Structure formats: structure tokens, C-alpha cells
Amino acid sequence: MAESKNGSMIMGMIWMFVISLLLFWLPAFGPLIAGIVGGKVAGGVGSGMLAALLPGILLAVALFVGGTVLTALPVVGAVIAGGGLLLYVFYIPPLLIGALIGGLMA
């Protein structure tokens, strides 16, 4: 019989977020460790990868909406969201590698 892997993508996202905040002072290893733990908690490779990517997309959408609402100019909202997404793009590679490793370990 095939074993079903128990895991929660939401809990994986939360663990990645908390560990990333705690290990912000480790430039490459902090996100890597957060990805490994979050991928393991998420329960698989696909869930771990989605748990790593989804917060960045949600952050960009939230920055776009917030920037547009606060300035009443959609162009300014798009610039703010693009800046936030650009910062996340530099942060995501070690997080994705960690999520892959953690998902394989689950």
C-alpha cells in the first residue's frame, strides 16, 4: 500500500516565515534552513515549493493593492509591488532549494 504523506502547506509557509525572520542575519543559510524545515512540514516537494512561492506572490498583490489604495495611482502601486517582488526574487533561490531538500526528506 502507498503511504500518504501528512503535511500542511499553510504550516509550511508559517514555519518558513518564522524561521526566515529569526535567521535573517544568515544571508544564504537562513532561507535555506527555513526552506528545509518548511518543505518537511509541508509534506512533499510540490507542497514545499508552493509554500515557498505563494507568500511572494501574495506579498506582491498586497503591495500593489495597498500602494494603489494609499496613493490612488495604479502606476505607483505597480512600482511599489515591483520593488517588493524584486526583493523577494533575490531571496527565493535558497528558499526553493531548501524546500526541495525538505520535501524530499518528508
**pLDDT for residue 3 is more than 90:** no
Residue 78: all three cell numbers together: 505597480
Kindly list the domain boundaries of the chain, sorted by start residue.
9-105
* Nearest Cα residue to 37 out of 5, 57, 7: 7
Residues in the chain: 106
| pLDDT, tens digit, 9 for 90 and up, residues 46-86 | 999 999 888 877 877 787 788 778 777 788 778 877 887 78
pLDDT at 57: 79
Which band of pLDDT confidence, cut at 50, 70 and 90, is reported for residue 38? very high
